[in-house]
Structure 1
Amino acid sequence: MTARTAVVTGASSGIGAATARRLAAAGFRVVLAARRKERVEALAAELTAAGGQAEAYALDVTDRAAVDAFAAHLTASGANPDPVHVLVNNAGGAVGAEYAAAADPADWRAMYEVNVLGVLHVTQALLPALTASGDGTVVVLSSTAGHVAYEGGGGYVAAKHGAHALAATLRLELCGEPVRVVEVAPGMVRTDEFAVNRYRGDAAQAAAVYEGVAEPLTADDVADTVAWAVTRPSHVNVDLLVVRPRAQAAQHKVHREPRPES
């Protein structure tokens, strides 16, 4: 039997790479898409060496022409494209933590481009193939920031609210089609790059986000959630799954262990 195909964007690190590993282990042929070609190529080699099927593709989801070329590469031309069964829209990120009054509009624009328009580009380009599969699933990795605002997060909050709205709208518009739309909204996740990128390379500021939190979520925790959602029976749609560490009861309610006395 031919393996079902899953496309994962932002697959070069963090949640994207962990999701690719989970889906490959579940028997999917995984297409790894990200801007950093050398990283996705190394991951594809790793998954292939472990007995999986994987392909690497360098892709910037904010470049519509590149996305269309990617879709053409994956699918045959004509009325009956080769199927894609799962699309995991993971590419995204945050830039800056300034209050709205001091924020750089360019940062807000960049976050909207990748977190919202990037999802739109890839979903539009692959939707014919997802539909042709007869059993497609679109996953949108949003965030709890897409549901609750917080100080210093205005641009990211706005972008992730946009991703949430896009997922909800798609689900309505695809009702009756053989395509599910799943939104996974993680809370506090500690990865190698997210907070560091947000704080423009300031490792100390990034580390302070998780200070005192014994067990924030890991990339693999979120990947496990995604893999579970996409492997439910075809008639089961997980509309929205919010996943947080036990220490985080809400956006502003996080249990932090006190610093040990010196």
Structure 2
Amino acid sequence: MQRAVRRGLARRKAPQSARHLCVDEVAFKKGHQYVTVISDTQGQALELRDDRGVESLAGYLRNLGDRQVESIKTLSMDMNPAYISAARVHLPNAVEKIAFDHFHVAKMLCAVVDKTRQSEMKTIPLQARKSAHRSRYLWLYGRNKRHGRIAERLEAAQMVLPDTSRCWAMKELARELWSRRYDEQSRRLWLEWIAMAKDVGVPLLSSAARTLRKRLYGILNAMKYRVSNGNAESLNSKIRLLRIKSRGYRNKERFKVAVMFHYGRLNMDF
């Protein structure tokens, strides 16, 4: 496997890039040991870098030729500050190219709903806590999936958990904003959402709104170019499964070789 990967990498005349890039991290083993995976939107692993810090992405971008860097149209990622810093230094016009995946925004807002529910449960009468506790997964349902018994249970939970209900409503409104096509109104609508979220008066939601205001450029880029980190997340799932099937790897280099062997689409012919 190692010889085959070396052969395939040697046939590459330059570092691999693409017009639409994705960057994400995957755990090499337990204990916060990570590898940064740079891939294209087709799920091909272009390069692997140690850790998940600034240098992990910066080193890759520095190795690209000027034409390759200029040809990058979008760089999809989560809101990892290290990746953002690296892109803003080494990618020209990065603010127009960085795209934040909607999955991570949804994950943030779902966490706001759940943490608000946990906090609010402590303030309601004891007799209402049991049903409120059982509502945990009901808040994950979208507005268009509230039917029958689910709708009844969620409406009952909304009565005893008003702050959680408001956070859920704002999460659903954000989902609707993201689902609409990008146009000249998109920025204004997101700014209105951010202002409304701050006015709700729930600290966790206000904090999330401030984060989204700071990263709004990446949200709008994702909508404008209709890109996401979905294929990168899918690739990472395959990599995690590869690690599980192999029952772990002795060291990081063996792990990286295995990933490139299976998902680098290298020309490894003799």
Give the TM-score, by structure 2 length.
Answer: 0.30
More strand by share: 1
Give the TM-score, by structure 1 length.
Answer: 0.31
More helix by share: 2
Which structure: larger Rg? 2
- RCO greater where, 1 or 2, for CA within 8 Å and sep 6 or more? 2
